Amino acid sequence: MTQPDLFDPSQVDKFNQWVHTPAGREIANHFIRLAYGLMRRGFKHYGSKGIVERLRWHYTLKYAKIGSGEWKINNNWTAHLARFAENREPTLRGFFEKRRMAL
């Protein structure tokens, strides 16, 4: 079994489709709010994976009885969420360390 390329154009397309669903919008907005909260507490940098894991905990508790897969956060989208947040909120630029995307 091979691991998917995180920056494969089809992965970017899938992320862009997901982030514009109600669940994707809510999760992306929550991701941005948590990043701003960390900045207000004095963090200059933080890992997007840490925020995603916090969101997983939150949404597992919030929707545990629903069993809907739409609230799950794909591991491959962690880097995309960081980039999305930085593109939408210029104040967050440089808050996340990122690898260069090869497209």
73 vs 15: CA distance, rounded Å:
10
Find out whether 91 and 81 touch, Cβ atoms under 8 Å: no
The CA-CA-CA angle for residues 28, 45, 11, to 5°, reads 40
Q: What pLDDT does residue 91 have?
A: 96
**Per residue in 10-25, pLDDT tens?**
888 899 998 998 888 9
Residue 5's SS3 state is coil
Question: So where are the chain's domains?
Answer: 9-92
Q: Which residues of the chain have pLDDT under 70?
A: 1-9, 63-71, 101-103
pLDDT at 53 (0 to 100):
93
